[in-house]
A = this chain, B = another copy of it.
Amino acid sequence: MIRIGIDANGGDRGVETTVPAAMEAVKEDKDIEIVLFGDENKIKPLLTNSERIKVVHTEKTMPMGEENPMIYIRKNPDASLCMAMAAAKNGEVDAVVTSGPTQGVVMAAHMIVRKLKEIDRVALCPIIPNYDGNIRLILDVGANVELKKEHFGEFAIFATVAAKEVFHMNNPKVGYLNIGSEPGKGRALDKEAYEYLSELEGINFYGNIEGDQVIDAPVDIILCEGYGGNICIKTLEGTAKCMGRMLKEEIKASLGGKIGYLFMRKNMKRFQSRMDAKKVGGAMIFGINKPVVKAHGNSTAEIFVGAIKQVKTMAESDLINKVVAKLPKKATENE
């Protein structure tokens, strides 16, 4: 039985998403138990079946636009996100799922569940759609602003194990996001990272990939430092959304467009879903003592169910211990 703590108040839709998702998840999987941390006055009317679902009441939730998450977390241990994290910390649940604000989620995981002692840095690892219909993992996209080459090694190992255990990928390839494909490209850090990753055991290192390859990647896992990675996926997301908007506008702009759309409605829906990785799962936070998944802020119940199943697989597959077993041993451990 895997017990999952859910930040029921979190995200743009709060309990409207998390409660139906919780009921659906336990219905689909008999090995899931859920603890909903949230406002019971809002949860109870929606919780038509509470089998294997417990409710722990709190009205508070971290605002989506919270500018000082560290201070907020210190002052509000009874916010739904913080309570879910604390439950993971003290073993009441095995994993956490939340749609809360990204920086706040990473901060809460760090401060409450805490970092694995075997690693140096936490990373935020979302799932992105790709041209071939398969997903890709990309990290770090914003948990850090400054990194060293060894951190990419930790990220590569985590993502490799996760790709195998959670996404059933076979010998996943690892690429490094850079401003050119040849080995000597980029800043000092990028060159060092390339060399380091080339020699790291336990990963299948492909080499550099450029920004225009991210959406049609010759690798399964894309490594990047926090600033560049954040710019990259935000640009990808914004460009994809904008093109979708422009396409809709052009279709509606004339009678010909509207008629044409009637004929190709199915094709358009297929086009739209090719660029939607949300159904596969949310962003994994690497480096924390328990599995944490951050679902999209505007997740529907269906999407949130995917995130619950994803974190359940992370916990069930003993992902964290498997990752730790594969990490390069730190020098101090051998003294």
Q: Are A259 and B268 in contact (CB under 8 A)?
A: no
B residues in contact with A275, CB < 8 Å: 243, 246
B residues in contact with A215, CB < 8 Å: 235, 238-239, 242
CB within 8 Å of B: which A254-297 residues = 254, 256-257, 259-268, 270-271, 274-275
Alpha-carbon distance A259/B303, docked complex (angstroms): 33
Smallest CB separation, A17 vs chain B (Å): 22
Stretch at the interface among A29-37, A74-82, A87-95, A222-230: A222-230
A164 at the interface (CB under 8 A from B): no
Alpha-carbon distance A321/B270, docked complex (angstroms): 53
Given A145-B187, A187-B145, the answer on whether A239 and B246 have CB atoms closer than 8 Å is no
A216 at the interface (CB under 8 A from B): yes
A187, A210, A231, A241 interface centre (most CB from chain B within 10 Å): A231
B residues in contact with A211, CB < 8 Å: 230-238
Alpha-carbon distance A131/B243, docked complex (angstroms): 8
Q: Are A231 and B263 in contact (CB under 8 A)?
A: no
Q: Which of B190, B216, B259, B265 is A263 in contact with, Cβ under 8 Å?
A: B259
Q: Which of B190, B238, B257 is A267 in contact with, Cβ under 8 Å?
A: B257
Alpha-carbon distance A239/B263, docked complex (angstroms): 26
- Nearest neighbor of A271 in chain B, beta-carbon distance: B250
Alpha-carbon distance A259/B213, docked complex (angstroms): 32
Q: Are A256 and B266 in contact (CB under 8 A)?
A: yes
Given A234-B210, A266-B256, the answer on whether A179 and B251 have CB atoms closer than 8 Å is no
Q: Which of B179, B240, B264, B267 is A239 in contact with, Cβ under 8 Å?
A: B240
Q: Are A263 and B256 in contact (CB under 8 A)?
A: yes
Q: Which 7 A-B pairs have the closest CB atoms?
A: A212-B238, A211-B234, A260-B263, A260-B264, A211-B235, A260-B260, A257-B267
| A positions within 8 Å CB-CB of B | 67, 131, 142, 145-146, 177, 179, 182, 186-187, 190, 210-216, 224, 226-228, 230-243, 245-247, 250-251, 253-254, 256-257, 259-268, 270-271, 274-275
Please list 30 pairs of residues, one from A and one from B, whose beta carbons are closer than 8 Å in the complex, sorted by A's number.
Answer: A142-B179, A145-B179, A145-B186, A145-B187, A179-B226, A179-B227, A179-B231, A179-B234, A211-B230, A211-B231, A211-B234, A212-B237, A214-B239, A215-B235, A215-B238, A228-B231, A231-B231, A231-B232, A231-B235, A235-B235, A246-B274, A251-B267, A253-B270, A254-B264, A254-B266, A254-B267, A257-B263, A257-B264, A260-B262, A260-B267
